[in-house]
Structure 1
Amino acid sequence: MRIILFLFSVFFGVQLFAQDWQSNFAQTLQRAKVESKPVILIFAGSDWCAPCIKLEKSIWQSDEFVAYSQENLLLYKADFPRKKANKLSAQKQKENDALAEKYNSKGYFPLVVALDSEGHVLGKMGYENVSANEYVGLLKKYFE
């Protein structure tokens, strides 16, 4: 019984603090309209971009960002991995390429794009060597 209780609490504890990264950008925008929430669109190179990896570990996985994003944002990551083992499906690559053409034509990595619920750009930023609280504060300025 203790084992079941332990596994139950671990599973739901992980679910409670897991981020809700969206998997389809068009659906993310539809959801943003319904929920009246802004979208954070992140362009990352998850297996080659050192600042992208730092952002992932120090900001996106932080308790501060997770708590803020769960209540206030929708999240979409357009990943551009280079290693063969991390290759995206052709459909996902096509979707990310179209997003890059529209929102990241200069090819900056990482690039964090704040969008309103209609998909209009509110602001852009990259990696900042600041605390998670400070980074969340920088993002909040786009939504005021």
Structure 2
Amino acid sequence: MKKFILLTILFFGISVNAQELTWHTDMTKATEIAIKEKKPLLLFFTGSDWCGWCIRLQKEVLKTPEFAKWANENVVLVELDFPRRTPQDEALKIQNSQLAQSFGVQGFPTLYFVTPTKNAENKVNLNNFGSQGYVAGGPTKWLEGANQIMKNKS
């Protein structure tokens, strides 16, 4: 019985400490959330099922508790995926391709920090204030760069 209680407490403690991340794929929805919460968007251009550097970035940074804590406090996350083997809805492919073209994405992984704003006609503008890719050194080094970029947000 003591082992059961100990395991229950341990499991509950881990569950409480693990922060869940929401990676949006619908740019319209993510933009609405970002404007409402007054947070920038972090756009993650990735090739999730084939890009070695993308997979490495996920493992070393984006799936760590340090990143989760930072992201939940600072940004709205958007994954713009370009898979080769994983099926993807046609509308999502079009959205992702248009955004990659708009931002001039040259390779993966690329992450853009943007501030969404609405103009008088209720159209959304994405004000890019920095980008970053894979950074060696784990979450600490990646977050140092991200925090430097965040100082530029408007």
The TM tier, using the shorter chain, reads: 0.7 to 0.9
SS in 2 for 1:87: coil
Deviations 1:9-49 (A, max 9, x none): 66x92895221111311121121111110111010001111
Go from structure 1 to structure 2 and tell me whether the alpha carbon gap of 1:13 and 1:93 turns closer, same or farther (over 3 Å shift): same
Deviations 1:42-77 (A, max 9, x none): 100011110000001111001110011011110001
State the structure with bigger RCO (CA 8 A, min sep 6), 1 or 2: 1
Q: Does 1:131 align with 2:138?
A: yes
Count of aligned pairs between the two proteins: 136
* 1:22 aligned residue (10, 21, 24): 24
CA contact (8 A) 1:36 1:117 kept: no
> Where has structure 1 moved over 4 Å in runs of 4 or more?
none
SS in 2 for 1:88: coil
Q: Percent identity?
A: 25
Once residues 43 and 16 of structure 2 are traced to their aligned partners in structure 1, the CA distance between those partners, rounded to angstroms, is 23
AA aligned to 1:135 is: W
CA RMSD of aligned residues (A): 2.2
Go from structure 1 to structure 2 and tell me whether the alpha carbon gap of 1:14 and 1:44 turns closer, same or farther (over 3 Å shift): farther
CA contact (8 A) 2:47 2:83 kept: yes
TM-score (norm 1): 0.84
AA aligned to 1:88 is: Q
| Structure 1 residue 113 displacement after superposition | 0.6
| Structure 1 residue 107 displacement after superposition | 3.0
1:1-144 mapped onto 2 (5 Å cutoff): 6=8, 13=15, 16-83=18-85, 86-103=86-103, 105-118=104-117, 119-144=126-151
SS in 1 for 2:77: strand
AA aligned to 1:78 is: L
CA contact (8 A) 2:135 2:141 kept: no
Deviations 1:85-117 (A, max 9, x none): x121111111111111111x2431111111123
